[in-house]
Amino acid sequence: MVFGELDADLKQKISAHLDECEKCRAMHDDMAATVKIMQEAFQNEPAQVFEPAYRDAINEEIRESLQSQSPTGKWRRFMSTLNRPSLTPAKVLWRMAAVFVALLLLAGLLTTPTLKKAFEGSSQLSFEQEQLDNNHAVEDAKRAMPGPPSEPPPVAKPKREAVATTLEHGRLARSAGRETTARNRPQGADSTVGGDTLLAEAATMPAKEAESRAPDAAKNKLAITREDTGEKAGISFDDYEESGKMALSTRAKIVPPAGIRKSDEAQLPAQTESKALADIAGTRSSKRRNEAGQTIVRPDTEPTAADLPAAKESGGKSVFRAPRVNPFVLTESDRYSTFAMDTDTASYMIARRYLAQNQTPPAGAIRVEDFVNVFDYNYPTDTDRIFGIFADGAPSPFRKELKLVKIGVQGRVVGRANRKAAHLIFVVDTSGSMDQADRLPLVKQSLNLLLDQLDDEDWITLISCDTEPHLLLDAVPVKQAPQVRKRINSLQTGGSTNLLGGIKLAYQIARRAFRTGGVNRVMLCSDGAANVGPTKSDELLEQVAEYRQQGITFTSIGFGIGTYNDEILEKLANKGDGTYIFIDSLAQAREVFVEKLAATLQYIAKDAKIQVEFNPLQVRRYRLLGYENRDIEDDEFRNDSVDAGEVGSGQSVTALYEVELRSPTGSKEAENATDLATVYVRYRDLDTGKVEEVSRKLGADIILDRKRDSDPRFFLAACAAEFAEILRGSEYASGTSLTEIVNYLEKISAALPLDDKVRELLAMVRRAKALKPTGGE
């Protein structure tokens, strides 16, 4: 690149000189290497976008400059259109009618009390919510969103803007939604932030003219939507158009749409109320359905305490993004809690890795469910049924006023003999960043370990992937082990990362050499430091999701820490019906590829979901610990096309709920209702391909006053979850200190002397405590 722009002649001369002169050669090489590092370094930098305040200022300026000349011009143009000879009287009439209708709507809009009501309602709501669930996250949300609550909604601005508002309301609402997005993700890399309100401003031309441009504008809108569907920026325009009735962009801004017809107007308050219910319940899931069956879409990016450290962390470092922390939900308003099963444990491994380096793991890397699922809770396995449901409960060890309910779902064990033949397609990232002891060398060791475990009937494909993908082994039977081994051991690093290319190639081969009735699995071994922008990673995700339908699954195996991009690896695994594993040591590799090979390779069920229905007569409110990014809409539980979790042979999933029980009211109903909750598990049996559902009622008798010595595993789960909560900075754990957890774990460790994992957790908590001089107090 240094000499990239010289003409060929000069280049030749220089390279000739370089061949001769050692000193110049060395200098040239150094410079070339410097350029390369610099390029990588710049690429690694997070992209910057305008802060909302700046973007707004630009919009404001443009709005003013447009308005300064518009009123007279508009009027003159309007008059002149009437005089045009080409206009027939019919056309004139039609246009006048159009203007008249527009004015009527406008008047209706300004006088209608609905707006005012809606606005008042929403601000009241957030107040009530604070009182109700004492949820500090709300305050955080407000802090992170200065302005909106006190700002009048855009429509409240009079006349001049009203035309634009009625025509472009959707976009205004959208842009408001996007502001939140941008605020939460200051480093958002793509063009999510753009001056779309500019378009709205530009539309402050006469109504009829804007009408004629409407189709064009609509196209623009859709283009914008398509741009950031991957980002799931708050409001999907499609949804908006469909419901055509209501867009909730932020808690405080409710923008009613243009063509409000009378019937719609009548519905608006009702919808606001039903939103109110959802809000009071403190449910902040991204989508909820109201009674009218319309989707209310809200930004999925409400800031949480956990978001902030995550954002900081991504300043050129590993990219972790924290999901929001589940809030308490009032059982009366939403008795269902639904989520996809998730057996990943990567988050725990990453935290372990950080702590081993004497660093506090970034809050964004912590997923509570991963911490809980690391441990073995000794659920009995039943060979007849695919899933068994187990539950126990006790007063919460860390929050006395609450009860902790532990729900475990244990999968059947498939014997080694029953394992299906597999075609494993390994995509190994051999880019420069993998050139560290805990990356490529560990990948090689892991693959060699795996090779010992595979059967002769299994096939293996090996693709190395740097600047270009290279096909090293093409569906070779494992019995040709020497050749396979040789190829694996010859992997070398260099170049940038073209993961997209590698994965594409992998799927091509997976499709070509598809094993019907077997396991077809693409396995990505990477540090996740792919030089792919967000648009590309969306493309990647789409592809993975598409092939999932065809029976090719995807597993992410993360290696190394540092440039490690947790988010993309997890997303890939989630989309591809796969698991996400993090390997940081040979011991861990042995666990994944030797001890738990069946679980890693052989799934017993897919699209497995759990729904817990709490009994409002018994349970006042509940909170699910973790599983935030595994959230499923309650009424999607029996929709079998929803992508949910996969469960490997013998794996178990444990979920913890914090619940507050109702104090006995003495009413007859309450006496009769002894069930706390009902657990439903729905999944597709991978052997038969049929969807099945099992359920179990949980009686109030599961909650006992348990002791650490007699029920150590219950407290182990509680400690693991609490540790994760503290690490991710959850408000709910603010009253707990790491010292308390250490105290519990010491007892548990004594009660479970054979469980290495408990000792490891204890060591981790101690390490974390040492890093935080306050001990988390």
Partner 1 sequence: MKKNQDTRSDQVAAADHTAAVALKSMMDSFQSPLLGYVTKLIGSRQSAAQDIVQEVFLRAFRKMQRDGQNSIKNPRCWLFRVAHNLAMDTGRKRGRQKNMQDTLMHDPVTQGNIFPGSTAADYAVDRDEMYKLALQAVDELPEEQRNVVLLKIMQDMTLKQISEITGLKIGTVNYRLTQALRSLAEKMKKVGFFET
Residues 333-372 that bind partner 1 (CB under 8 A): 352-353, 356-358
Q: Which is nearer to partner 1, 227 or 633 (CB)?
A: 227
Residue 193 in the binding site for partner 1 (CB under 8 A): yes
Residue 207 in the binding site for partner 1 (CB under 8 A): no
Q: Which is nearer to partner 1, 51 or 633 (CB)?
A: 51
Residues 139-168 within binding reach of partner 1 (CB under 8 A): none
Pick one of 148, 194, 244, 269: the residue that binds partner 1 (CB under 8 A): 194
- φ, ψ for residue 140, nearest 5 deg: -60, -45
Q: Which is nearer to partner 1, 71 or 415 (CB)?
A: 71
How far is CA 304 from each of CA 282, 506, 602, 731, 734, rounded to the nearest angstrom?
14, 38, 37, 9, 14
Structure tokens at 661: 């029980």
DSSP secondary structure code for residue 148 in this structure: T
Q: Which is nearer to partner 1, 47 or 101 (CB)?
A: 47
Cα–chain center distance at 85: 59
Residue 80 in the binding site for partner 1 (CB under 8 A): yes
Contact 177, 249 (CB under 8 A): yes
Which listed range, 199-207, 384-392, 506-514, 629-637, lies at the site for partner 1 (CB under 8 A)? 199-207
Residue 215 in the binding site for partner 1 (CB under 8 A): no
Which listed range, 38-46, 284-292, 296-304, 634-642, lies at the site for partner 1 (CB under 8 A)? 38-46
What is the C-alpha to C-alpha distance for residues 397 and 747, in angstroms, rounded to an integer? 13
708: exposed, middle or buried (Cβ count in 10 Å: 0-12, 13-18, 19+): buried
What is the C-alpha to C-alpha distance for residues 363 and 365, in angstroms, rounded to an integer? 5
Pick one of 11, 13, 77, 638: the residue that binds partner 1 (CB under 8 A): 77
Indicate left, alpha or beta for 539 from its phi (over 0: left) and psi (-120 to 50: alpha).
Answer: alpha
Pick one of 144, 280, 545, 586: the residue that binds partner 1 (CB under 8 A): 586
Pick one of 9, 22, 69, 773: the residue that binds partner 1 (CB under 8 A): 69
Q: Which is nearer to partner 1, 3 or 127 (CB)?
A: 3
Residues 429-468 within binding reach of partner 1 (CB under 8 A): 432-433, 436-438
Residues 588-617 within binding reach of partner 1 (CB under 8 A): 588
Count of residues touching partner 1 (by CB under 8 A): 72
Residue 226 in the binding site for partner 1 (CB under 8 A): no
Q: Which is nearer to partner 1, 244 or 562 (CB)?
A: 562
Q: Which is nearer to partner 1, 233 or 278 (CB)?
A: 233
Residues 297-326 within binding reach of partner 1 (CB under 8 A): 316-317
- CA angle 121-127-128, nearest 5°? 85
Please name the residues in contact with 91: beta carbons below 8 A apart, sequence gap of 6 or more. none
Residue 179 in the binding site for partner 1 (CB under 8 A): no
Q: Least CB distance from residue 76 to partner 1, whole Å?
A: 6
Pick one of 48, 549, 665, 695: the residue that binds partner 1 (CB under 8 A): 48
Which listed range, 72-80, 273-281, 323-331, 664-672, lies at the site for partner 1 (CB under 8 A)? 72-80
Residue 13 in the binding site for partner 1 (CB under 8 A): no
Which listed range, 54-62, 370-378, 385-393, 612-620, lies at the site for partner 1 (CB under 8 A)? 54-62
Q: List, in sequence order, the alpha helices (H) in 596-711.
A: 597-601, 668-672
Q: Least CB distance from residue 428 to partner 1, whole Å?
A: 17
DSSP-derived pairing of the beta strands 552-559 and 580-583: parallel
Q: Which is nearer to partner 1, 198 or 661 (CB)?
A: 198
Pick one of 106, 198, 545, 742: the residue that binds partner 1 (CB under 8 A): 198
Q: Which is nearer to partner 1, 73 or 494 (CB)?
A: 73
Q: Least CB distance from residue 552 to partner 1, whole Å?
A: 31
Q: Least CB distance from residue 308 to partner 1, whole Å?
A: 16
Q: How many CB atoms lie within 10 A of CB 8?
A: 7
735: exposed, middle or buried (Cβ count in 10 Å: 0-12, 13-18, 19+): exposed
DSSP secondary structure code for residue 593 in this structure: I
Write down the number of H helices and E strands in the chain.
26, 20
Q: Helices 756-771 and 346-356 meet at what angle, rounded to 10? A: 50
Torsion of CA 760, 765, 768, 773, to 10 degrees: -140
Residue 650 in the binding site for partner 1 (CB under 8 A): no
Pick one of 41, 97, 691, 750: the residue that binds partner 1 (CB under 8 A): 41
Residue 587 in the binding site for partner 1 (CB under 8 A): yes
Tell me, letter by letter, the H, E, C secondary structure of 601-652. HCEEEEEEEEEEEECCCCEEEEEEECCHHHECCHHHCCCCCCCCEEEECCCE
- DSSP codes, 487-507: HHHT----S---HHHHHHHHH
Which listed range, 106-114, 412-420, 515-523, 759-767, lies at the site for partner 1 (CB under 8 A)? 759-767
Residue 666 in the binding site for partner 1 (CB under 8 A): no
- DSSP codes, 684-724: EETTT--EEEEEEEEEGGGB----TTT-HHHHHHHHHHHHH
255: exposed, middle or buried (Cβ count in 10 Å: 0-12, 13-18, 19+): buried
Q: Least CB distance from residue 723 to partner 1, whole Å?
A: 16
DSSP-derived pairing of the beta strands 295-297 and 603-614: unpaired
- CA angle 511-517-522, nearest 5°? 40
Q: Which is nearer to partner 1, 417 or 437 (CB)?
A: 437
Contact 151, 122 (CB under 8 A): no
Contact 374, 345 (CB under 8 A): yes
Residue 37 in the binding site for partner 1 (CB under 8 A): yes
Residue 42 in the binding site for partner 1 (CB under 8 A): yes
Which listed range, 62-70, 99-107, 386-394, 710-718, lies at the site for partner 1 (CB under 8 A)? 62-70
Residue 29 in the binding site for partner 1 (CB under 8 A): yes
Pick one of 76, 91, 486, 511: the residue that binds partner 1 (CB under 8 A): 76
- DSSP codes, 293-346: -PEEE--S----TTHHHHHHHTTTS-B--PPPPP--EETTT--EEEEE-----H
Q: Least CB distance from residue 477 to partner 1, whole Å?
A: 31
Q: Which is nearer to partner 1, 433 or 654 (CB)?
A: 433
What is the C-alpha to C-alpha distance for residues 720 and 205, in angstroms, rounded to an integer? 60
Residues 555-574 within binding reach of partner 1 (CB under 8 A): 562-563
What is the C-alpha to C-alpha distance for residues 455 and 444, in angstroms, rounded to an integer? 19
Residue 395 in the binding site for partner 1 (CB under 8 A): no
Residue 50 in the binding site for partner 1 (CB under 8 A): yes
